[in-house]
Every structure is written in structure tokens, then in C-alpha cells.
Structure 1
Amino acid sequence: MLNGSNYKKWKQDVNFALGIADLDIALREDKPVITASSTTDQKERLAKWERADRLSLIAIKRTISEHLLGGLPEECTAKQFLASIKERYQVSDNAESGRLLKELMDIKYDTAKGVREFILKIVHYQTKLKTHKIDLNDKFIVGHALNCLPVDFTQIKTAYNTIGVDWSVNDLITKSVAEEEKLKNEKTAVSMLSVHSKPRSSKNNGKYKYSHASHKN
């Protein structure tokens, strides 16, 4: 349901649902014009368009809360209705670009989700920003991802800065995942070593001393 703050997701869902139902012809094409000389196929095309438009409009309105329908046109095509909703709820391009850039700059590596998902999330922001005419090249994305990784990844950061060869995003993912696995294995080894190197309990020693003293008495 459209609630005012989820316009972009709502629009995607509406387009998908109407496409699956083969009703999106009314959104993709203008209403066919019929004349006295129109063929049967052209007339059938008009009938299909009118049916798709009518049902699309009904379907779209069913996904909007009644109190949000106020002020929207009542007599219009489905395409015109969507255009009116877009004018009301669409976030300005500058505001959306600013939000995406801030989220990209503030992104943090999450150990639980892993480095692969972390890098792919950065690439997702890169793709979204490109639609707003902000084109961040792969060199920037690779450098930014490395800078955001914690100090544990110092070895791979040093390798990138000293090797003198630009990495692709796929190169970064491959090397980062391998480094992450190595770090996990090292931590596991250290944990196991710590467990095996703990001093033995002094209970047995105390018991031995007590028994020995009793025997002596």
C-alpha cells in the first residue's frame, strides 16, 4: 500500500503486478486512434487498451489508502493517474542524490554479513547514483571500499597501495573474501590455542595435598 514515504517501492510493485497481468499496455502506449478506415486488428487493439486502462486504474487505486486519494484526478487514464501521484510523492532528484551519497560515505563493514555483501552494497549505491547522473568510477569505489574496511585488512590495503595496478570490483571482492577467510582461520586458531593453554585446575593439587597430609598423620 502507498503510504506517502514508500513511493519508489510502491511504483515498482505496481508496474510489476500490471506487467504480470498483461495490463501494462495502457501505461506503455497511448490510446489507439480509430477511424472509419481502421482494420479489425486496430479495433481489437483499442478494445484491449481500454480494458487494460480500466482495470489498471482500478488496481492502482486499490493500493492507495482512501484518505490519500483526495486531490487526485477522478476522470483520467491510468497513465495520467500515475503521473499525478508521481508529482505528489516523488522525492526531488537533488535530495535523493544527497541521501545516497551520505549513505555511501557512512557505510560500515559488518562482520556478520561479510565483506562480499559489504562491497556489493557499495556497488549498489554506485549504480543508484548513476541514474542521478553521478558517475563514480570503479577506481573510486575500490579505494572507498578499502578505506572503509577495518584495520584487520591492513595487509590487503597495503598490497593495493604498493602494487601500482588498479583493481576491478571483482578483483577486490576475490582478494577481500580470501583475506577475510584467512583472518577468520587465524582467529579460530588463536582461540583454540588459548583453550588448550589454560592452566590446570588447582582442585586436584589441593586434594593431593590434603590426602598426603592425612596419610602422614
Structure 2
Amino acid sequence: MATNDVPMAVPTAIPPTSIPHGEKPEKFNGADFKRWQQKMLFYLTTLNLVRFLREDPPAATEGSKAACDAWSHGDFLCRNYILNALDNTLYNVYCSLETAKSLWESLEKKYKTENAGLKKFIVGRFLDFKMVDSKSVSSQVQDMQLILHDLDAEGMKLNESFAVAAVIEKLPPSWKDFKNYLKHKQKEMGLEDLILRLRIEEDNRKLSD
């Protein structure tokens, strides 16, 4: 009896699983360089291109043309990934730089220097801050909390005990007795506890006026 020969299916090659790239950083416009740089480093790492940020071109010795071509291709990709993560104004400024390394170092030199200046400015605001009697203590404590937050954002987070002592030290002149009372308290308190105590004291003062 004749049988129908059914041709066997030829298995097709299964494509290799692609590794998803990291999320492409938003366009850098000159603000918050540190955050953009960290995102860009992660993105370039997922693309296996991060080494071009630190490497110089290989020496053009005899027999190394293939290595030089491979390096140039990788550097070209890395450089253009960085350029395409700049907004148009910055793209126009930095597009003339020929390697990823020179581009990256130019950005660091420009914006890390500015970041260092910002740190000094925030530290100056913290050191110079003094509360006055003409404004409510609660609102001035909020202003100081913003400065503490900025210090934290710049990697200069203060120990909580130090922050508490600093707020107490910066209380206005009419709070001298309460300041001394807080300084001599045996039990250590956190910043939130201190802020609550200051609000209660300020409310009591308003009632007694």
C-alpha cells in the first residue's frame, strides 16, 4: 500500500536573544550634569562602548589595520551616542571634537567645574544662614531644610545630630533661652522632633502675645 511521504520540516535557526539596551538618557541641556552623566555611563556600558571614553586610538603599527578600523568604528559609535544625547545648542558646540574621549573629557571639564562651584555656593549658604526675629521660625526652618536637601543632593549629606545642632545654633536672638534649653537636653532628638518642638514653641509664643 502506497504511503504518503510527508516531508520533514527543516528546523529554522532561532535568532539569539537580544539584550535590551539601557534606557536612552534624555537630552542634556547643561543642567544636572552628574545625573545625566551617570545615566549616560550606564547606557554606554549596555552598548559595550564605555571603554572608548578612556582609551586612546591604538598605535598605527604595521599589521594592525584591522584593530585600528575596529577601534575607530567603536569610537565613532560612542562619540555619536554622546552627541545625540546633547540638545542642539550643545551638539553644535561639541560636534567638532574627534574622539569620544576628547568629547567626554571636555564635557567633564566644563560641567564638573561648574558643579564644584555649586557645592561651594550651597555650603556658603548653609554657613551664612542665620534666623532673624522678623520672620517666623517655622518658615525659616523650612528654608534651612531646603539648604540641607541641596547639600544632600550634591553628595554632602550631614549627620542628623549635626543638622539638629546646626538648626538650634541658628535660632534667632529672641530664642536664646529656648536655644540653651535645647542644647542642654540629655535625650538626643531627630530633626523632625526638633522641628515639631519649634512649631509648638512658636505657637505658644503667639498665644502668650
The TM-score normalised by the length of structure 2 is: 0.50
Match of 2:148 among 122, 126, 133: 122
Match of 1:105 among 120, 127, 134: 127
1:158: how far off? 2.0
Q: CA offsets, 1:137-188, max 9 Å, x none?
A: 55543332212122454454222322355x35xx23313323213413542x
Task: Work out the percentage of aligned pairs sharing the same amino acid.
Answer: 15
1:69 matched to 2:94: yes
- CA–CA separation in structure 1 for the residues paired with 2:205 and 2:143: 21
- CA–CA separation in structure 2 for the residues paired with 1:91 and 1:68: 18
- Change over 3 Å in CA distance of 1:89–1:17 after alignment to 2: closer
- CA–CA separation in structure 2 for the residues paired with 1:159 and 1:138: 19
* Structure 1 unaligned blocks of 5 or more: 32-48, 192-217
- CA–CA separation in structure 1 for the residues paired with 2:179 and 2:86: 53
1:141 matched to 2:163: yes
The TM-score normalised by the length of structure 1 is: 0.49
1:113: how far off? 4.0
1:105: how far off? 0.8
* Structure 2 unaligned blocks of 5 or more: 1-26, 53-73
Match of 1:175 among 178, 194, 208: 194
Question: Which amino acid is 2:85 matched to?
Answer: I
Question: Which amino acid is 2:144 matched to?
Answer: F
- CA–CA separation in structure 2 for the residues paired with 1:65 and 1:177: 46
Partner of 2:11: none
1:85: how far off? 1.5
- CA–CA separation in structure 2 for the residues paired with 1:83 and 1:16: 16
Displacement over 6 Å in runs of 4+? 49-52
- Change over 3 Å in CA distance of 1:59–1:146 after alignment to 2: same
CA RMSD of aligned residues (A): 4.5
Aligned length: 159
1:129: how far off? 6.5
Partner of 1:59: 84
- CA–CA separation in structure 2 for the residues paired with 1:52 and 1:159: 64
Q: 1 or 2, which has the higher helix percentage? A: 1
Tell me if structure 2 keeps the 8 A contact 1:18–1:24.
Answer: yes
Q: CA offsets, 1:72-115, max 9 Å, x none?
A: 51x323x6522221123432787555434322111245747463
